[in-house]
């Protein structure tokens, strides 16, 4: 059976779904691996490296493939080139990609969405949201340090003492914790806040100070925070204002896949910040945690420069691709039939497995992901 690695065609996407060093993992399972020409070029991976690893370079790799792996969803035109019964494995934000879901259903494609992999211990090695959030959190701290026109660390010299930068991080999921850790390594004084009770200990474990607003905690499903009332949100913003006003850099990372990002910081709060301050909004693509942030742009609000994140993991395509490719290998391994009497390299997803069933969007001409099916076809 053949696995095809698609070249990414969407603007700003520099990652690739498979890296040469992991091709051998797939061929050892019995698969043939074909890579579209130039698929890894933006991640500084050459076609020759893929060939040396056991793959073939094929401009028509997706046409007769049994499985197509990519980072972003395939375009409608490319979906229609796949053979009926083929499978795709990629990020597939169904809320924003409804036309693609309809085409995948109508073309008889089995589509798996990496962001729908259940957040259970057995699936941790397949959790692409976490692996890419790790990259994004690191990148956010580096962006903040680069934009801020002062040192992050304390410096004591014969010419005098330079105080460390004050950094505030909102959201302490994978991205937030990585931003905290990176800012700490760079020497900043870091304070952080998250609405979940368990986050305070995680923040302190990174060497940062946890901000306690003495508000009700909001634990949600799957490790995410649950939505808050507008009254609760307004009170939270009021209590956070002095911390933000005192910060040299603010990094916001609060997001829930497939939903609008919560607005944590108003423009008025940003206007309280000192001249030269920096705001990094990782969630700008999904509405933003900061009022007025624009994805892919730097805007000025009051005295602060506000950087809106746009496909942030793709800004570090090498490590992001390596981590994502390992997630892909792990989920494909789960979906590969093994055992006596089974031909090696047989892609045979077990839909009784909760990881397989949970990540499946379309199969056999049907939409299997219930929220998406309800949105597109109505309640049964």
Active site residues: 119, 124, 127, 130, 224
H or E segment and range at residue 24: helix 20-27
Selection from 238, 178, 235 nearest residue 202 by Cα: 178
CB 241 within 8 A of CB 134: no
> CB under 8 Å, gap of 24 or more: what pairs does 369-374 form?
369/94, 369/113, 369/116, 371/94, 372/94, 372/98, 372/101
Q: How many residues does the chain have?
A: 380
DSSP single-letter state for residue 146: H
H or E segment and range at residue 161: strand 160-162
* Matching residue, tokens 């997001």: 255
CA dihedral 346, 118, 13, 292 (to 10 degrees): 170
Q: How far apart are CA 343 and CA 356, in angstroms?
A: 20
Residue 193's DSSP bridge partners are 170
Buried b (16+ CB within 10 A) or exposed e, 37-61: eebbebbebebebbeebebebbeeb
* Matching residue, tokens 């911390």: 243
Selection from 149, 64, 136, 171 nearest residue 315 by Cα: 136
Tokens of 313: 């993991």
The 10 Å Cβ neighbour count of residue 207 is 12
Selection from 277, 207, 206 nearest residue 246 by Cα: 277
Buried b (16+ CB within 10 A) or exposed e, 85-105: ebbbbbbbbbeebeebbbbbb
């Amino acid at each position: 059976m053949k696995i095809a690695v698609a070249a990414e065609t969407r603007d700003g996407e520099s990652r690739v779904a498979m890296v040469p060093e992991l091709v051998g993992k797939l061929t050892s399972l019995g698969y043939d691996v074909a890579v579209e020409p130039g698929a890894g070029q933006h991640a500084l991976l050459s076609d020759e490296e893929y060939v040396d690893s056991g793959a073939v370079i094929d401009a028509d790799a997706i046409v007769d493939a049994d499985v197509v792996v990519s980072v972003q969803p395939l375009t409608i035109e490319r979906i229609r080139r796949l053979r009926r019964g083929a499978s795709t494995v990629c990020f597939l934000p169904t809320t924003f990609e409804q036309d693609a879901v309809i085409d995948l259903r109508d073309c008889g494609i089995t589509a798996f969405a990496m962001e729908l992999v259940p957040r259970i211990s057995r699936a941790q090695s397949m959790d692409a949201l976490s692996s890419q959030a790790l990259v994004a959190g690191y990148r956010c701290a580096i962006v903040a340090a680069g934009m801020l026109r002062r040192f992050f660390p304390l410096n004591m010299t014969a010419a005098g003492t330079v105080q460390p930068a004050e950094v505030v991080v909102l959201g302490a999921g994978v991205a937030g914790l990585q931003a905290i850790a990176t800012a700490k390594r760079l020497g900043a004084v870091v304070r952080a806040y998250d609405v979940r009770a368990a986050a305070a200990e995680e923040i302190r474990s990174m060497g940062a100070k946890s901000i306690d607003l003495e508000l009700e905690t909001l634990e949600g499903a799957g490790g995410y925070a649950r939505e808050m009332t507008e009254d609760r949100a307004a009170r939270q913003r009021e209590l956070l204002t002095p911390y933000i006003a005192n910060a040299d850099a603010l990094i916001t990372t609060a997001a829930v896949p497939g939903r609008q990002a919560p607005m944590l910081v108003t423009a008025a709060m940003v206007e309280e910040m000192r001249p030269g301050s920096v705001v990094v909004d990782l969630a700008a693509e999904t509405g933003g945690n900061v009022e007025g942030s624009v994805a892919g742009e730097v805007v000025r609000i009051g005295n602060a420069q506000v950087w809106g994140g746009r496909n942030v993991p793709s800004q570090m395509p090498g490590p992001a691709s390596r981590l994502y490719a390992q997630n892909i290998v792990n989920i494909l391994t789960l979906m590969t039939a093994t055992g006596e009497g089974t031909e090696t390299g047989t892609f045979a997803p077990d839909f009784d497995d909760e990881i397989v069933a949970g990540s499946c969007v379309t199969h056999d001409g049907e939409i299997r992901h219930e929220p998406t099916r309800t949105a597109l076809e109505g309640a049964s």
